[in-house]
Amino acid sequence: MSTVGEPISRVDGRLKATGRAIYTADTPLADAAHAAIVHSTIANGKTVSIDTGTAEKAPGVLAAFTHRNMPRINPTPKPWSHLHPHGQGYLPLQDEQIHYAGQPIALVVAKTRDQALHAATLVAVEYQAERAVLFNRETAREAVDPPQFLWPVASSVGDAEKGIREGDHKIAQTYTTSDRHHNQMEPHATVAAWDVGGRLTLYETTQHIFGARELISIVLGVPIENITVISHFLGGGFGGKAYVWPHTLLTAVAAKALNQPVRIQLTRAQMYSMVGHQPATIQTIELAADRDGKLTGIRHESTSPTSVFDSYIEYAAIASRHLWRASAGIATNHKVVHVNRNTPTAMRSPHEALGHFALESAMDELAYAAGIDPVKLRLLNDSETDPLSGRPFSTRAIRKCLVEGGARFGWNKRTFAPRSMRDGRYLIGQGVAGAVYTHWRWPAHARVTLKSDGSALLEAGMHELGTGTYTVMQQVVADALGLRPEKVTVRLGDTRLPASHAAIGSATMANAGASVMLAAKAARNKMIELALTGREAPFADSAPDELVVDDGALSLAHRPHKNVNITFAELLARNGMSELVANGNYDPVEEASGPKAVFSFAAVFAEVRVDPDLGLVRLNRLVGAYDPGRIINPKTARSQAIGGITWGVGQALLEQSETDPTTGRYLSRNYSGYLVPTNADIPNLDVMFVGEFDEEASPLGAKGLGELTAVSVAPAIANAVYHATGKRVRDLPITIEKIL
Ligand code: MOS
């Protein structure tokens, strides 16, 4: 009975659709008070006075905190790491300084949420304001070299300058992307409860329960074993819930000070300044190719804004480190500009989704400069080895993505010249872009318990972001144990369970999934052991590899008396066991030290329809061809792809967070001002998976999928817009005024 590979529907679908899934803000704690945050209205300077007197006398108010009475918080650890994941290093309510608009400057706790929100409006603040430094082309000239936090900041292989000098066809352009905000359906929430023994239970909207526990242990000075972090369901994470943000610390500290549970739920507007966002980028690219279109050199540099106190790097140029080969060399670099804003963070395919806009737009420009079909140009520059490390790729089906995706799209019917395709009065354009996405290898642990009734329980500190973790992990256990999926219960999202990694970087299936598979296989082996050597062993004269599991029973694979079997329940009973427990410990090599380079790949084909009078761009259709290794569940995988492509459409055509140049505040802080795609913006999306089992990526054969699917949607659309109109838009999003 093979369950992996089946398009199983969400096991938690009914729970969610009927409102019975308990999200963080729903946590039933009757005696919890509610917190409300007061924000700075200026972007730079300091508070001269904060008067909480009126607020404290307002109905239901229990306490008001400012930097004067807020308990001290330990500094966040430096350097930042995936195990010490602070959202920003500057901690709330610790001094009178103001570094960004929307910075928390006071906290009011009251019996009800309305009382807290009302009282927060009664806090009177006097500021001493200074001019805010904002990100723009002028301040970008003050960019500095940041310290490394994820990958090396700069890279250089061979001699890129020489390759660019000696090329026959050259492109040198600047591409820019806008500030973008997360806007998950579920706003961030925290419920903090301390018990009399000083133990903290934190119900938290987090993609990393163990990281949150570790960080909170450090900054609040609480032993790690005294903290439990719980997250059973998330209404979207997308990187915005990967790290610990100030509202979480405020809530935990207030709950301790008041000796009462406290809850907070950020408003949609608060999600603009209380948690991270994606910073704008200014990227410069130089590409050169020989007469035939083979790349000789690539230079890619990206500059992005960060806060005055942190050095978040948007690693946009990493796209150019791994996608295409260039005979003479490739050089990349990143710089940051410290400005008055909150610290940016990972968001919906960070780094790659921005860098590919520049790289794959430039490749299209090169195709037109050289007169070569854009798909053919990419096939010409395919690489057997990772250009950065020189290691062979474990699997790399980008050629298949380009060829089979192109066939599905009907690329051969496309005419090369811009403005050469029409549908009535509309201009039709078709564009393509390739993509490479990082694969992460992280340790993970899981536990599988076989119960006396023949069912199984999986327990692991994994996360359900809305992606289908409960479902796919159930599948992996069912597959290894030969159980029907509904016989497997999954428990996740609790630090009391075996430790797993952050649900970021599209890494859950390959890594957490591997630990689940190992645990389930260990349980199966223990069952086989019992059947061979236990009490009244039914298969005493057989070898372990002669036994198979199917539908909750063990039987012989290739024997005449094949119909002889024993159920798991019987086997446990016969051995006087109420249950059988097995652990799975997945401990992969670090990605950089693996023998092979592991990446996911894609090719995206987009067709747009442009109204020549209005400059309005509509996506007509899109084919995404993906190589994320082996697919565990085609249904949830396709859903991930549809979601990812939709992000990409937002990035390409709609999403842009503008900052008021005078006040330094984000202008739009809700769905009416900050546009994201709706159903009417998204046509039929055609998704195909062309990858194969990748044993280097994971024992499950899977590589990263979710975020891959948002990458290169924007350049495919931008290239299609060029093909339709002859206009090259090098600034996202592609709005009407840039076409006219
Ligand atoms: Mo993703 S932006 O690594 O949650």
pLDDT digits (tens, 9 = 90+) for 36-45: 999 999 999 9
Half-sphere exposure of 229 (CA within 13 A, CB side): 27
pLDDT average, residue stretch 192-206:
97
Under the banding of pLDDT at 50, 70 and 90, the label for residue 720 is very high
Under the banding of pLDDT at 50, 70 and 90, the label for residue 353 is very high
Determine which residue's CA is closest to atom 4 belonging to ligand 1: 239
Residue 538 has which token pair? Answer: 């039914």
Over the chain, what is the mean pLDDT? 96
pLDDT average, residue stretch 562-572:
87
| Tens digit of each residue's pLDDT (9 = 90 or more) over 496-521 | 999 999 999 999 999 999 999 999 99
Would you state the pLDDT for residue 403?
98
Determine which residue's CA is closest to atom 2 belonging to ligand 1: 239
Q: Looking at ligand 1, which atom is closest to the CA of residue 348?
A: 2
b/e map of 312-336 (b: 16 or more CB within 10 Å)?
Answer: bbbbbbbbbbbbbbbbbbbbbbbbb
Q: Is the pLDDT of residue 203 over 60?
A: yes
| Tens digit of each residue's pLDDT (9 = 90 or more) over 690-703 | 999 999 999 999 99
527 phi, psi to nearest 5 deg: -65, -45
First to last CA, the chain: 58
Would you state the pLDDT for residue 697?
97
pLDDT average, residue stretch 62-84:
90
| Tens digit of each residue's pLDDT (9 = 90 or more) over 610-648 | 999 999 999 999 999 999 999 999 999 999 999 999 999
Q: Are the CB atoms for 230 and 202 separated by under 8 Å?
A: yes
Residue 64 has which token pair? Answer: 């008001």
Indicate the top mutation candidate among 312, 504, 705 to test ligand 1's pocket, ranked by most ligand atoms within 8 A of CB.
504
Ligand 1 contact, 346 CB (< 6 A): yes
pLDDT average, residue stretch 386-401:
97
CA of 349 to the centre of ligand 1 (A): 6
Ligand 1 contact, 504 CB (< 6 A): yes
Return the DSSP state at 87.
Answer: S
404 phi, psi to nearest 5 deg: -75, -35
CA of 504 to the centre of ligand 1 (A): 4
Q: Looking at ligand 1, which atom is closest to the CA of residue 503?
A: 4
CA of 221 to the centre of ligand 1 (A): 28
Residue 431 has which token pair? Answer: 């564009």
Ligand 1 contact, 347 CB (< 6 A): yes
Indicate the top mutation candidate among 707, 709, 711 to test ligand 1's pocket, ranked by most ligand atoms within 8 A of CB.
707
Q: Looking at ligand 1, which atom is closest to the CA of residue 707?
A: 1
User: Which of 260-269, 334-343, 591-600 has the least mean pLDDT?
Assistant: 591-600
Distances (CA, A) of 484 to 8, 13, 469, 563: 12, 18, 17, 19
Q: Looking at ligand 1, which atom is closest to the CA of residue 504?
A: 3
Give residues with Cβ within 8 angstroms of 329, minimum separation 6: 156, 157, 158, 159, 160, 161, 162, 163, 297, 298
Ligand 1 contact, 502 CB (< 6 A): no
Would you state the pLDDT for residue 560?
55
Q: Is the pLDDT of residue 10 over 80?
A: yes
Would you state the pLDDT for residue 369?
97
| Tens digit of each residue's pLDDT (9 = 90 or more) over 233-242 | 999 999 999 9
Phi-psi region of 60 (alpha: psi -120 to 50; beta: other; left: phi over 0): left
Nearest partner of 321 among 475, 175, 155, judged by Cα: 155
664 phi, psi to nearest 5 deg: 75, 15
Q: Which amino acid is at 693?
A: F
Would you state the pLDDT for residue 234?
98
Q: Are the CB atoms for 300 and 359 separated by under 8 Å?
A: yes
Q: What is the pTM of this model?
A: 0.97
Distances (CA, A) of 107 to 68, 112, 414, 724: 12, 14, 59, 53
CA of 439 to the centre of ligand 1 (A): 12
pLDDT average, residue stretch 184-211:
97
Please state, as a whole number, how many other Cβ atoms lie within 10 Å of the Cβ of residue 95: 11
Under the banding of pLDDT at 50, 70 and 90, the label for residue 227 is very high
Q: Looking at ligand 1, which atom is closest to the CA of residue 505?
A: 3
CA of 346 to the centre of ligand 1 (A): 6
Q: Looking at ligand 1, which atom is closest to the CA of residue 349?
A: 2
- Alpha carbons 235 and 708: distance in angstroms, whole number: 20
Under the banding of pLDDT at 50, 70 and 90, the label for residue 548 is very high
727 alpha carbon, distance to own chain's centre:
32
Would you state the pLDDT for residue 562?
57
Ligand 1 contact, 707 CB (< 6 A): yes
Q: Are the CB atoms for 295 and 320 separated by under 8 Å?
A: no
Q: Are the CB atoms for 212 and 65 separated by under 8 Å?
A: no
Residues β-bridged to residue 625: 603, 688
Give residues with Cβ within 8 angstroms of 381, minimum separation 6: 293, 294, 295, 324, 325, 326
CA of 593 to the centre of ligand 1 (A): 22
Ligand 1 contact, 239 CB (< 6 A): yes
User: Which of 251-255, 561-565, 685-689, 703-707 has the least mean pLDDT?
Assistant: 561-565
CA of 387 to the centre of ligand 1 (A): 24
| CB burial of residue 662 (10 Å; 0-12, 13-18, 19+) | exposed
Ligand 1 contact, 505 CB (< 6 A): yes
Would you state the pLDDT for residue 558?
77
| Tens digit of each residue's pLDDT (9 = 90 or more) over 642-695 | 999 999 999 999 999 999 999 999 999 999 999 999 999 999 999 999 999 999
Give residues with Cβ within 8 angstroms of 284, minimum separation 6: 172, 173, 174, 175, 299, 300, 301
Question: What three-state secondary structure class fits 574?
Answer: helix
Report the DSSP pairing between strands 124-129 and 45-51: antiparallel
Catalytic residue IDs: 707
| CB burial of residue 681 (10 Å; 0-12, 13-18, 19+) | middle
Would you state the pLDDT for residue 456?
98
| Tens digit of each residue's pLDDT (9 = 90 or more) over 277-301 | 999 999 999 999 999 999 999 999 9
3-state helix/strand/coil string of 579-625:
EEEEEEEECCCCHHHCCCECEEEEEEEEEEEECCCCCCEEEEEEEEE
Q: Is the pLDDT of residue 534 over 90?
A: yes
Q: Are the CB atoms for 502 and 458 separated by under 8 Å?
A: no
